Structure 1
Amino acid sequence: MSRSDDEHFHVRPGPPKARGGARPKAFVAQVLKAASASGAKPRRTAGGRPASRFGRGRVAAGAAGRRLPTNARRVVVKSRYVVLRRAGKAGVRAHLRYIERDGVRRDGLPGRAYGADTDAADLEAFEERGRGDRHQFRFIVSPEDAAELEDLPGFTRRLMEQLATDLETSLDWVAVDHWDTDNPHTHVVLRGRVGRGRDAQDLVIAPDYIAHGIRLRASEIATEWLGPRTEREIRQGWQREVDQERLTGLDRELVQRGGTSGSVTLQSVAGEARSVLREDLLRSRLQRLEGLGLAHRVGPQRWQLGVGLQDTLAAMGRRGDIVRTMHRAMAGEARELITDSAPGAPVVGRLQAKGLDDELLERPYLVIDGLDGRAHYVTLPVGSDLSALPVGGIVACGPPQLGRSADRLIRAASTDGRYEEAMHRASLVASGHGEPDQVVQACRRRLEVLRRGGVVTRVGEGVWHVPEDLVERARAQDAARTSARVVELRSALAIEQQVGAEGATWLDRQLVGTASTQTPPAQAGFGAQVRQAQDARLRVLESRGLAARQGQRWVLARDLLRTLTAREVQRSGEDLAARAGRLWRPVNDGEPVRGVYRHAVQLTSGRFAVLDDGKALRLVPWQPVIETRRGQELSVVLRGTSANWEVGRTRGIGR
């Protein structure tokens, strides 16, 4: 019996099925299903966002704080998740070094790290244990009543024990207490990996637990230790907020009442004493805001809040914190305080204080007693290393140097908007340049950077199209890429130490360049102190035959800076060679020198690298690029006061 092809049976395999029956559901999924069947609703945060469903501490985040009374003790917890690959070893070490810095304990001594079972934690060992970790958690725990806690380390240990219970794992952490601010607080560094060996895994904490759970757990412990806040303590806290020039809880309540219109109406409340007091305090706060120009009365019990009230009060609070920091740094010295120095304005002066403007984000700050007679508060990019900046030394802070010498070389070597590497190399050889390949390679690297920014285009191998205004456009690109300040150490010595120092000091450079390139010191403040130190330095130079008085003016010796530098390098080099059992050999201008980079020494004239060729030691001006090559053989050519370094067989050009 024949059948048509339409009736043929066609096999249509479906997707493969899981073998062995259905996979068992995870325990958390079973709990959520049972909770849903019982009619329970998933917990939501204040912003209406569903509770997180990944990471450790999900359940604890919902349970934390449920038993807290309305008069519970308050604790501020700031948290930060740090990817160690981005921070690097230097960033981790810098943070650990910062939290254990000088003057943070009650007695003014350096901070002392502790852990779960030790009062003297080894930060180097902690850093070494975490080198393979993917990330790290950093917390700042600040109980409102920290001064009343008899045992702040004990409070921190109790909190971390609770965290370990909530996260269902043991934790590896270190902490340091800081008492050098108005609000005592604790820095906690928590490793982002738990377990050992094959059982080790990344520590993933639920976002809700980080955002709310830790703070609520800390509040529970503080309330358990100190008891709930009394009615008197609550009222005193409210009263303190009335006159503060910063964002307070009263302000947040006013903004919430005002809604989108910003109109606040107060009511006369009868009955509960606390409600009456709260309305009176809000009224007093509105009157205070009215005096600050941040609100105005529009009726008997109505006020209109100013636009951007919260941002303005937050900025006022920050400025108040900066002013207090500057007053402490200046230690009674009368100065005009500049709390918001323009990023493009260079500041030169004595470093009075340094620290972190934001301890969690690690944004550093400097307080500089400027040559202009004013004190400046300067913030630096996040992660800037301040370890090489001694308090009392001379620093210069300003925008990064824009424009490169390579830009001018490229423009000069171009013809009709066309730059050819071969022609540039030939021109350099014809002019007798000693290192044409280095110059061309540096220009090529710069052109690659400009190409990515759309300033130049590649026409072919070694051929580029460059615009007529290359220098200006390159400078504009550099300015657009960064607006941050950079800081440079001009002298590690205080001006009092520079007066009689050997070597070329910052005072000497000021004396040489005052008439043309330097800004004259002011007649008051630090500028006046610099003028007095310059007069004393001139008398010292006169006694050494390097300066002479002619009537009312001084005449400095020719090549003063080079002479002073050469004398100091000679004496320091001979001392180093004698201690190392080596000969000492000076470096002549233009002479190629090769040797193993041993270490760097800080002299009055600057920082110098120690090269060892096996027989003799030499001192050559140091550059940051060689610091990662310690213990390796390097080659360098000294030209004037600059050094062109070569690493191994690689040829490069110094900037």
Structure 2
Amino acid sequence: MAAADDDRFRPLLGAPKARGRGRPQAFISRVLKAASASGAKPRVGDGRPASSFGRGRVAAGAAGRRLGADARRVVVKSRFVVLRRAGKAGVLAHLRYIERDGVTRDGQKAQAYGAETDVADLKAFEARGRGDRHQFRLIVSPEDAAELDDLRGFTRRLMQQMATDLETPLDWVAVDHWDTDNPHTHIVLRGRVGGARDERDLVIAPDYAAHGIRHRASEIVTQWLGPRTELEIQRAQQREVQQERLTGLDRQLLRQAVDGVVVLRSAPVPDRVSARDTLLRGRLQRLGELGLARKIDAHRWQLSPRLADTLSTMGQRGDILRTLHRAMAGEARSLVPDPPPDARILGRVHAKGLHDELLEQPYLVIDGIDGRAHYVRLPAGRDLSGIPVGSIVACGPPPLGRAADGLVRAAAQGGLYEVAAHRAALQTSRHPHVEQVLAACARRLEALRRGGVVERVTDGVWRIPDDLAERARDHDGRKGAAGLHVDVRCHLPVEQQVHACGATWLDRQLVGAESSEHPAAAGFGAQVRRALEDRLRVLASQGLAQQQGAYVVPNRNLLQALIAREVEQHGRALEAETGKVWRAVQDGVRAQGTYRTSVQLVSGRFALLDDGHGFCLVPWRPVIETRLGQALSVTVRGSTVNWEVGRSRGIGR
């Protein structure tokens, strides 16, 4: 035995020797350098490019290695939010949304929680992160969330694991939502970690954000509930066969396809693989019924090139229809899940929420006076707090372009617009509001100059392109005006408008101040018809409408009388409360004061101007909201409101 051991050859390998001066380069470094030069990229164990920066790089490779095909599935959506762009208002709006009413199991207002508290203070959380560069927003939705007895405990366990993987304590708040078919949790994670002295930005490795969090969540759910049984897996796959959305079976077909053709087994045997093939055949038959696959022969199918996009769109449409059915429960309505871009919708807000919770794209369910229920998607980031449920809104294409564009183009000569020439032309034609028109044109030109549409040559002289109207519309579209635009016509439901003090939407319908379609004889249109009749009777009892034969006709000055009555009533109430004198605004007479606040009345929103001894209420315009606390002057002529700041004219209309 000893002799045999002596004859055994054992080579001892060492690192390659350096050939030349300097410190020898590590062999692995030379391999990586050569691989990089050849165009290859380092990869982690599952074939994805490895993260090269951020916390959680090592954990991203380790997470999910123990998960098998029977692991519990979890969907995780993550978003990186730059707080400088979102702003304080955007952060608070998101926190208010996730803690809104009706999302708990019993339909009550949700309560945010944290790592060590069941009652998290969202305002304090926002204040702690006010100086952060960014914020992470996560949506975690276990497939079997309904079976978890403690969704809150699951979230805390996941965040503990994330803190371990990222090697730092985390500051976060979360809210559980049970108002959808898939219970899920919204998590808001601060983008700063560490103490006061060593505080720094939290940078998460892309691999960990994209896959590691989901794998960790799947590990926890699988540990808590156990792996999926063979029966559960089969039932889940069988449900996918008939679904009108992109499923796991569709993704497998797309992976197997070569030039869009899928080839299945010709002689399946009774094992697990053949059962899978049977499901794929059933799915292909369903896709054939939907026009998304074509059978070539017994074992080959041609997939549609638009398969994935079409199924994703169909799945989204199905979600919208379920939302409409839930919102209009008990109400017989025709459903319009996708109104055309040029649609004009007038009706009552029946429900609201987020179409895409991660990107914060809101939606409204509008019960139209045409007797149909419309699902309207709004631009991402639109705040819905000013659109209460039950309010009357008008929805349609955005107001691209301005009336000032036509005035400027008509006054321009030789490609130049001159203020002096425009003033002279207006005075010659005896226009009643010369300065207001010039101020509106100046505001519009300045906005177009910032967008690169026009050029200022000198004070009062502008270079105007020949296609001003078209370029101005393109400018407005680039600013985000695309999509349906929503305008609140009255914050009160029609039932409350019948006996309201001010000028309501019903009153504007009665006098024809708003052009709209005739209310339908069914649905919300029928309710509007009854409300208009009841409102006429109320106005007649107050002397604001007269009986003329078989009809009750509103007075000609109805709106002005209602607005004046409500403003005076509210002004007198504020006068008694503050001790300052309320002054009525006279038509054509300038009023001035410091813009203190705005108040929402039935007749609309009004700005309160305080001159030190008294105050007045003036119709509010969005353009003055940034002037809160500043001295303003305003002139009201009919429905036209012209604001001035100091000596500069025309910040309003």
TM > 0.5: yes
Distance (Å, rounded) in 1 between the aligned partners of 2:466 and 2:559: 39
The amino acid of 1:569's aligned partner reads V
- Equivalent positions of 1:227-626 (< 5 A) are 227-272=226-271, 274-425=272-423, 439-440=437-438, 442-450=440-448, 456-466=454-464, 470-471=468-469, 474-475=472-473, 477-479=475-477, 482-513=481-512, 517-626=515-624
Preserved CA contact (<8 Å) 1:439 1:653: no
Distance (Å, rounded) in 2 between the aligned partners of 1:455 and 1:95: 35
Report whether the alignment pairs 1:148 with 2:113. no
Distance (Å, rounded) in 1 between the aligned partners of 2:637 and 2:583: 17
Distance (Å, rounded) in 2 between the aligned partners of 1:342 and 1:554: 38
User: Could you report, residue by residue, the CA deviation over 1:508-548 in whole angstroms, capped at 9, with x for unpaired residues?
Assistant: 1111117x832211222211211111111111111111222
User: Could you report, residue by residue, the CA deviation over 1:184-233 in whole angstroms, capped at 9, with x for unpaired residues?
Assistant: 00000001111233311111111000001100011111111111111111
Number of aligned positions between the proteins: 625
Distance (Å, rounded) in 1 between the aligned partners of 2:578 and 2:270: 86
The amino acid of 1:85's aligned partner reads R
Report the Cα offset of residue 422 of structure 1.
3.0
Higher mean C-alpha deviation, range 119-128 or range 418-427: 418-427
Decide whether aligned partners of structure 1 residues 412 and 484 sit closer, same or farther in structure 2, where only a CA change above 3 A counts: same
Distance (Å, rounded) in 1 between the aligned partners of 2:214 and 2:437: 58
The amino acid of 2:396's aligned partner reads G
Distance (Å, rounded) in 2 between the aligned partners of 1:46 and 1:312: 33
Task: Please give the secondary structure, in 2, of the residue aligned with 1:614.
Answer: coil
Task: Please give the secondary structure, in 2, of the residue aligned with 1:610.
Answer: strand
The residue that corresponds to 1:9 in the other structure is: none
The residue that corresponds to 1:3 in the other structure is: none
Report whether the alignment pairs 1:128 with 2:127. yes
The amino acid of 2:562's aligned partner reads L
The amino acid of 1:329's aligned partner reads A
Decide whether aligned partners of structure 1 residues 47 and 357 sit closer, same or farther in structure 2, where only a CA change above 3 A counts: farther
The amino acid of 1:520's aligned partner reads H
Distance (Å, rounded) in 2 between the aligned partners of 1:576 and 1:234: 67
TM superposition score normalised by structure 1? 0.89
Distance (Å, rounded) in 1 between the aligned partners of 2:464 and 2:329: 55
The residue that corresponds to 1:177 in the other structure is: 176
Distance (Å, rounded) in 2 between the aligned partners of 1:468 and 1:553: 53
Higher mean C-alpha deviation, range 552-561 or range 623-632: 623-632
Distance (Å, rounded) in 2 between the aligned partners of 1:186 and 1:552: 60
Report whether the alignment pairs 1:158 with 2:157. yes
The residue that corresponds to 2:136 in the other structure is: 137
The residue that corresponds to 2:18 in the other structure is: none
Report the Cα offset of residue 613 of structure 1.
2.2
The amino acid of 2:75's aligned partner reads V
Task: Please give the secondary structure, in 2, of the residue aligned with 1:225.
Answer: helix
Preserved CA contact (<8 Å) 2:45 2:61: no
Decide whether aligned partners of structure 1 residues 162 and 33 sit closer, same or farther in structure 2, where only a CA change above 3 A counts: farther
Preserved CA contact (<8 Å) 1:192 1:202: yes
Report the Cα offset of residue 292 of structure 1.
2.1
Preserved CA contact (<8 Å) 1:267 1:279: no
Q: For structure 1, which runs of at least 5 residues remain unmatched after alignment?
A: 1-21, 24-28
The residue that corresponds to 2:17 in the other structure is: none
User: Could you report, residue by residue, the CA deviation over 1:80-129 in whole angstroms, capped at 9, with x for unpaired residues?
Assistant: 00011111111111100100010010011111100011000000000011
Task: Please give the secondary structure, in 2, of the residue aligned with 1:620.
Answer: strand
Distance (Å, rounded) in 2 between the aligned partners of 1:381 and 1:596: 33
Distance (Å, rounded) in 1 between the aligned partners of 2:443 and 2:601: 33
Report the Cα offset of residue 477 of structure 1.
4.7
Distance (Å, rounded) in 1 between the aligned partners of 2:639 and 2:46: 61
Report the Cα offset of residue 607 of structure 1.
1.0
Distance (Å, rounded) in 2 between the aligned partners of 1:268 and 1:647: 83
Preserved CA contact (<8 Å) 2:339 2:376: yes
- Equivalent positions of 1:188-199 (< 5 A) are 188-199=187-198
Preserved CA contact (<8 Å) 2:112 2:121: yes
Distance (Å, rounded) in 2 between the aligned partners of 1:43 and 1:221: 29
The amino acid of 1:447's aligned partner reads L
Decide whether aligned partners of structure 1 residues 264 and 308 sit closer, same or farther in structure 2, where only a CA change above 3 A counts: farther
User: Could you report, residue by residue, the CA deviation over 1:55-93 in whole angstroms, capped at 9, with x for unpaired residues?
Assistant: 111111111111223211111100000011111111111
Distance (Å, rounded) in 1 between the aligned partners of 2:650 and 2:350: 38
The amino acid of 1:376's aligned partner reads H
Distance (Å, rounded) in 2 between the aligned partners of 1:438 and 1:542: 38
User: Could you report, residue by residue, the CA deviation over 1:235-256 in whole angstroms, capped at 9, with x for unpaired residues?
Assistant: 1111111111111111111121
The amino acid of 1:321's aligned partner reads D
User: Could you report, residue by residue, the CA deviation over 1:399-437 in whole angstroms, capped at 9, with x for unpaired residues?
Assistant: 221221322332343345432123334556777889866
TM superposition score normalised by structure 2? 0.89
Task: Please give the secondary structure, in 1, of the residue aligned with 2:197.
Answer: helix
Task: Please give the secondary structure, in 2, of the residue aligned with 1:269.
Answer: coil
The amino acid of 1:570's aligned partner reads E
Report the Cα offset of residue 310 of structure 1.
1.3
Higher mean C-alpha deviation, range 516-525 or range 421-430: 421-430
Report whether the alignment pairs 1:633 with 2:627. no
Decide whether aligned partners of structure 1 residues 358 and 31 sit closer, same or farther in structure 2, where only a CA change above 3 A counts: farther
Decide whether aligned partners of structure 1 residues 452 and 625 sit closer, same or farther in structure 2, where only a CA change above 3 A counts: closer
Higher mean C-alpha deviation, range 476-485 or range 614-623: 476-485
The residue that corresponds to 1:5 in the other structure is: none
Distance (Å, rounded) in 2 between the aligned partners of 1:339 and 1:416: 49
Distance (Å, rounded) in 1 between the aligned partners of 2:595 and 2:78: 41
| Structure 2 residue corresponding to 1:644, chosen from 629, 642, 645 | 642
Decide whether aligned partners of structure 1 residues 280 and 395 sit closer, same or farther in structure 2, where only a CA change above 3 A counts: same
Preserved CA contact (<8 Å) 1:621 1:642: no
Task: Please give the secondary structure, in 1, of the residue aligned with 2:526.
Answer: helix
Higher mean C-alpha deviation, range 518-527 or range 353-362: 518-527
Q: For structure 2, which runs of at least 5 residues remain unmatched after alignment?
A: 1-21
Report the Cα offset of residue 397 of structure 1.
1.4
Report whether the alignment pairs 1:107 with 2:94. no
Decide whether aligned partners of structure 1 residues 480 and 112 sit closer, same or farther in structure 2, where only a CA change above 3 A counts: closer
The residue that corresponds to 1:11 in the other structure is: none
Q: Indicate the percent of aligned positions where both proteins have the same amino acid.
A: 65
Report the Cα offset of residue 140 of structure 1.
0.3
The amino acid of 2:639's aligned partner reads T
User: Could you report, residue by residue, the CA deviation over 1:553-590 in whole angstroms, capped at 9, with x for unpaired residues?
Assistant: 44221121111111111111111211122222211112
The amino acid of 1:218's aligned partner reads A
Report the Cα offset of residue 340 of structure 1.
1.1
Task: Please give the secondary structure, in 1, of the residue aligned with 2:350.
Answer: strand
Decide whether aligned partners of structure 1 residues 479 and 36 sit closer, same or farther in structure 2, where only a CA change above 3 A counts: closer
Distance (Å, rounded) in 2 between the aligned partners of 1:371 and 1:221: 50
The amino acid of 2:212's aligned partner reads G
